[in-house]
Structure formats: C-alpha cells, structure tokens
C-alpha cells in the first residue's frame, strides 16, 4: 500500500504477487508459513485490503481511476462501490 501511495504501482504489484512460499493463499484463507505453524493467518484480508486501496484510491490520489495500478495499459481494473481509503 505504501508503494502504491508513493506512485510506484509496479513495485506494489511486484510485492503483492511475489512468487515465494510465504506468499501462498489457500482457498480457505489460510496463509501457511511453516508446517510447525498450523494456525490460521488472515493474510488474504491483507491482500484484499491492499488491492481495494489500489483500485478504489485514497485521499489525495488526484482522482485517477485505479491509481494503485500502472496506467500504461498493462492492467484493466474495474470495481464497484469501493470508497477511497483515508
């Protein structure tokens, strides 16, 4: 979210979609870290919050559509009802 707010949408996406073991999201919302840590970690919520900010914008984003995504045409972003984050 910080990278998006600083005008670095590619960095924001690279961080969110980094192909590493700790960046795995299971359908049940679990984000397994290690076999010895079987507890539920709600990382899906963090991912969704970041994407919502990137798509819906934030206070002071200049009113651009989906300001957290690259504006070079490489992404097509649509959303409904997302309010800008403070």
Q: What is the pLDDT of residue 47?
A: 84
As beta bridge partners, residue 85 has 58
Span 56-73, pLDDT tens digits: 999 999 999 999 999 999
Span 4-58, pLDDT tens digits: 999 999 999 999 989 887 787 777 767 777 777 766 666 777 888 999 999 999 9
Q: What is the pLDDT of residue 24?
A: 78
Residues in the chain: 86
Which structure tokens are listed for 51?
A: 């994407």
Q: What is the pLDDT of residue 61?
A: 94
Return the SS3 of 68: coil
Domain boundaries, the chain: 1-86
């Amino acid at each position: 979210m910080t990278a998006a707010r600083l005008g670095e949408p590619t960095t924001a996406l690279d961080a969110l979609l980094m192909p590493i073991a700790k960046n795995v999201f299971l359908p049940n919302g679990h984000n397994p870290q290690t076999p010895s840590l079987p507890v539920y970690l709600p990382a899906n919520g963090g991912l969704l919050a970041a994407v919502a900010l990137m798509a819906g914008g934030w206070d002071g984003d200049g009113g651009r559509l989906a300001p957290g995504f690259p504006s070079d045409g490489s992404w097509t972003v649509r959303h409904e009802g997302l309010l800008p984050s403070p």
